[in-house]
Homo-oligomer: A and B are copies of this chain.
Amino acid sequence: MSVQSLEIFLKEKKEVIDKQLPLYIEKMKAPTSLKEAMLYSVYAGGKRLRPILLLAAMQAFRKDDEAGLPVACAVEMVHTYSLIHDDLPCMDDDDLRRGKPTNHKMFGEAMAVLAGDALLTNSFGIIANINHPFVTSEMKVELIKGLSDAAGAEGMVGGQVADMEGEEKNLQLQELEYIHQHKTGNMIRYSVIAGAVLAQATKEQLQHLEVFADHLGLAFQIQDDILDIEGDEAVIGKPVGSDENNQKSTYPKLLTLDGAKKKLNYHIAAAKEALLKTGIDTTRLEEITNYMVTRNH
């Protein structure tokens, strides 16, 4: 049982990530301009939810999370690359992210493409380079395979393509879930599983944690859609109802607002049920689940 409050845990872990992440880039022997562009988006980071999930998963196994830090940073680098490429004019064409100019607005499109490419490429090297007594080569291979699956054609990139192609369509619930599971869900699942792999979880524990993370990922997205309708514009930072205006398929649109809330509660309950089956100290992961699905921004 953890005595540290969730708030302090989140703050501390975020600080650890915020401190470590730029170090990988700063020490690279690469053109200054490229490093600047990479660092810009890495510094512009948000809540660092994925790396925090990874570190929380390790702690649930009562493992010191030091060995998880490189993988946590790699996950955040992959997340950052995906945001840079998503913001490009040929993709979502966004000028602002978290209130700051997007990467291509700052450094030009060519540099934004390349900064994203480098963040993605080097994230694999960071995992391969882990130098820690209990991280074996077998673990590294498993972690790299998992990251490639979660981020590649069968994961995040596939979800992004499906999202792009579904933009102007009225999606079925199944299609909407495919998009969310792949575009955001797979990297959330990877974060949890990577922590568990590092903590030498059993095969059975890994299966329960996969179920947990998949429900968490969907709950997170449904909450996002509900927030878009109910949220306070000033708090979430984008016009409330923007999804509705741009014809985007959402859970409330497909299920009604009440139906979406029921589905949200179903996924939260299923996530927690799966957690219970792992036999580990899941207090923190439960707290993070509550935090992620009741956030107001």
Interface residues in A46-102 by Cβ distance below 8 A to B read 85, 88, 90-91
A152 in the interface (beta carbon within 8 A): yes
* Distance in Å: Cβ of A254 to nearest Cβ of chain B: 20
Query: How many monomers of this protein are in the complex?
Result: 2
A124 contacts across to B, CB distance below 8 A: 124, 144, 147-148
A29 in the interface (beta carbon within 8 A): yes
A154 lies within 8 A of B28 (CB): yes
A125 lies within 8 A of B137 (CB): no
B118 lies within 8 A of A157 (CB): yes
* Distance in Å: Cβ of A110 to nearest Cβ of chain B: 5
Query: How many angstroms from the CA of A28 to the CA of B34 in the assembled complex?
Result: 32
* Distance in Å: Cβ of A268 to nearest Cβ of chain B: 28
CB nearest to A24 among chain B residues: B153
A141 contacts across to B, CB distance below 8 A: 128, 137, 140-141, 144
Query: How many angstroms from the CA of A38 to the CA of B235 in the assembled complex?
Result: 40
Instruction: Count A-side interface residues using an 8 Å CB cutoff.
Output: 53
* Distance in Å: Cβ of A88 to nearest Cβ of chain B: 7
A177 in the interface (beta carbon within 8 A): no
Q: Using an 8 Å CB-CB cutoff, how does the interface string of A156-175 with B read, 1 for contact, 0 for none? A: 01101110110000000000
A148 lies within 8 A of B165 (CB): no
A18 contacts across to B, CB distance below 8 A: none
A113 in the interface (beta carbon within 8 A): yes
Query: How many angstroms from the CA of A31 to the CA of B151 in the assembled complex?
Result: 14
Contact of A121 among B30, B33, B120, B161 (CB under 8 A): B120
A34 lies within 8 A of B114 (CB): no
The 3 closest A-B pairs by CB, nearest first: A125-B148, A90-B109, A121-B152
16 pairs, CB–CB < 8 Å, chain A vs chain B: A28-B153, A28-B154, A29-B154, A29-B158, A30-B153, A30-B161, A34-B153, A35-B153, A38-B153, A110-B164, A121-B148, A122-B152, A124-B124, A125-B145, A127-B144, A141-B141
